[in-house]
Amino acid sequence: MKAPAFDYVKPASMAEALAYLKQYGAGAQVLAGGQSLMAVLNLGMASPDVLVDITALPGLNEIKVQADSVTIGALVTHAALQASPQVAQHVPLLWQAVPHVAHMAIRNAGTIGGSLALADPAAEYPAVALALNATLTLQGPGGQRQVSAQDFFLGFYSTARAEDELLVAVTFPKVKGGQVMVFDELTRRRGDYALCGLAAAFEVKGSVISTARLAYLSMGDRPMLASSAAAELMGKVPSAATIAAAQAALAQDLSPNGDLHGSAKGKLQWARVLLERSVSHVGKSV
Amino acid sequence: MGPGIAGAQRQPCGEKRMSEIRRQISVQVNAERVERPVLVRQHLVDFLREELDLTGSHLGCEYGVCGACQVMLDGKVVRGCLTLAVRADGKQVQTVEGLSEAGELADLQEAFLNHNALQCGFCSSGMLMTALNIVRHHPDASREEIREHISGNYCRCTGYQAIVTAIESVLVKNRASAVLGASL
């Protein structure tokens, strides 16, 4: 199918981009890499009045390493994340997630900001951002504001970004000694949308898991924190008994809807499988 | 609440609005500089096929899944159906036609022929873009890794064995010539 008619603007400055967003309101759609938006337009599932192409905006393409954190500009592509030694070293959970995002041709064009701002519940980065409680920076007419990942994802394709704001960057805490990061997902074929995915951040002291933060994708209308399961892991050694207790607790955290991909019960089982794999990985690294 | 894509869903699609908005673009397509106005809603492969008669790039699903539409944009493989033609302004596009003429695909094309790595043939031009990307950037790829790369080009055939073998044969040949070159 072909995209419906729309206008297209490519602002050269942030002020100009924000002016377009204000002018067109809900009729404007921000275009970054376009790897989800173009598909939706071709399918005739959206008909915006105007696409605001933000790829000419300066300064959104950088990966900045600070003392305790790494700030990634919204226009950094998946391919650039994959090729970044800084991301691999300092934000290994994100780096592990990148190869799971679609295919090379799409990773060459799609951006981290686009993925976070779209907030597809099956996408990898929202879950990674939630697991690490990343900070998202939004630029609006009144300046910048920061929103934690926990407060950013509000529901199905819905975020705390206002219509007149742009997501300009995301800041992840640097990994510290003693932390173990595990990203894994289940797909029918490599590159397909995840049936279930888990971004997990653990801290390990001696042989004991001291903290755990588990963020699931494809298990609800947004990335889902499994705090009851995480509580079962904390202060325990990563044993079979610990894993079983945490798997049982997942039913309190997740209530996925059955759909054509799987039943509700089956989906919960996938989540348990990924939990087991991820905690076993911690067991191997202590 | 932020506007998701659904937030822009205000009018039924197909309704005639601004249907003829065009922008002038200047784009290098293969060996040729092309300057002309394009419909802003037209994607790159429709532009190549309909406006420039370059029909080597195919449209399968038209939502980014099948990979038959792949072209090189500034040297990087992209989905042509997920790229607006207007965004190619100032850039270089290489299609299967141009890369064939330049001889860049000669080894791969020969290997695809020798191994009968065509299946129904609809995916071949997009598959060759992925294969070229493997040859250029992943010269040591294993069969398993080749499969992972071409997973973005799966369409309705199955198997893809001969395609994996054809790509692998080019990698093996290139590695042998690299060793030979180093020993001379």
- B91 and B126 in a common domain: no
Tell me what the mean pLDDT of segment B46-55 comes to.
Answer: 98
Q: What is the CATH number of the domain that holds B111?
A: 1.10.150.120
Residue of A nearest to B148 (CA): A190
Closest Cβ–Cβ partner in B46, B152, B154 for A104: B152
The pTM score is: 0.94
Q: What confidence tens digit (pLDDT) does each residue in B90-121 have?
A: 999 999 999 999 999 999 999 999 999 999 99
CA distance B14 to chain A (A): 6
Query: What is the average pLDDT score of chain A?
Result: 97
Q: What confidence tens digit (pLDDT) does each residue in A137-165 have?
A: 999 999 999 999 999 999 999 999 999 99
Whether residue A64 is predicted with pLDDT greater than 50 in this model: the reply is yes
For residue A227, which phi and psi values (nearest 5 degrees)? -80, -30
Separation of alpha carbons B116 and A267, rounded Å: 41
Please indicate, yes or no, if residue A83 is contained in any of the structural domains: yes
Q: How many structural domains is chain A composed of?
A: 3
Residue pair B57/B49 in contact (Cβ under 8 Å)? The answer is: yes
Please indicate, yes or no, if residue A1 is contained in any of the structural domains: no
Q: Which residues of B touch A161 (CB under 8 A)?
A: 2-3
- B32 and B70 in a common domain: yes
Residue of B nearest to A105 (CA): B78
- A135 and A86 in a common domain: yes
| Residue of B22, B38, B41 best to disrupt the A interface, most CBs of A under 10 A | B41
Q: What is the CATH number of the domain that holds B39?
A: 3.10.20.30
Tell me the residues of chain A between 124 and 153 that have a Cβ less than 8 Å away from chain B: none
- B90 and B43 in a common domain: yes
- A157 and A127 in a common domain: yes
Please indicate, yes or no, if residue A2 is contained in any of the structural domains: no
Residue A125: predicted pLDDT: 98
Map A82-102 to HEC letters: HCCHHHHHHCHHHHHHHHHCC
Please indicate, yes or no, if residue B13 is contained in any of the structural domains: no
Prediction ipTM score = 0.93
Tell me what the mean pLDDT of segment A69-82 comes to.
Answer: 98
Cα separation values, A10 from A103, B5, B86, B91, Å = 27, 19, 10, 15
CA distance A194 to chain B (A): 14
Q: How many structural domains is chain B composed of?
A: 2
Query: What is the average pLDDT score of chain B?
Result: 91
Give the confidence band of B155 by pLDDT, cuts at 50, 70, 90.
Answer: confident
Residue B16: predicted pLDDT: 46
Whether residue A196 is predicted with pLDDT greater than 90 in this model: the reply is yes
Tell me the residues of chain B between 89 and 128 that have a Cβ less than 8 Å away from chain A: none
Domain span at A100: 63-173
Residue B13: predicted pLDDT: 42
Among the listed ranges A12-21, A188-197, B52-61, B129-138, which one has the minimum average pLDDT value? A188-197
Tell me what the mean pLDDT of segment A115-138 comes to.
Answer: 98
Contact B82 A34 (CB under 8 A): yes
CA A250 to chain centroid, in Å, comes to: 21
- A210 and A120 in a common domain: no
**Boundary of a domain, candidates A146, A173, A200:** A173
- B118 and B75 in a common domain: no
- B78 and B42 in a common domain: yes
- A279 and A199 in a common domain: yes
Comparing CA positions, the residue from B162, B156, B183, B178 lying closest to residue B68 is: B156
Residue B15: predicted pLDDT: 46
Q: Which residues of B touch A46 (CB under 8 A)?
A: 5-6, 8-9, 13
Domain span at B49: 19-95
Residue A256: predicted pLDDT: 96
Residue B162: predicted pLDDT: 97
Give the confidence band of A189 by pLDDT, cuts at 50, 70, 90.
Answer: confident
Q: Does B19 touch chain A (CB under 8 A)?
A: yes
Q: Does B18 touch chain A (CB under 8 A)?
A: yes
Q: What is the CATH number of the domain that holds A108?
A: 3.30.465.10
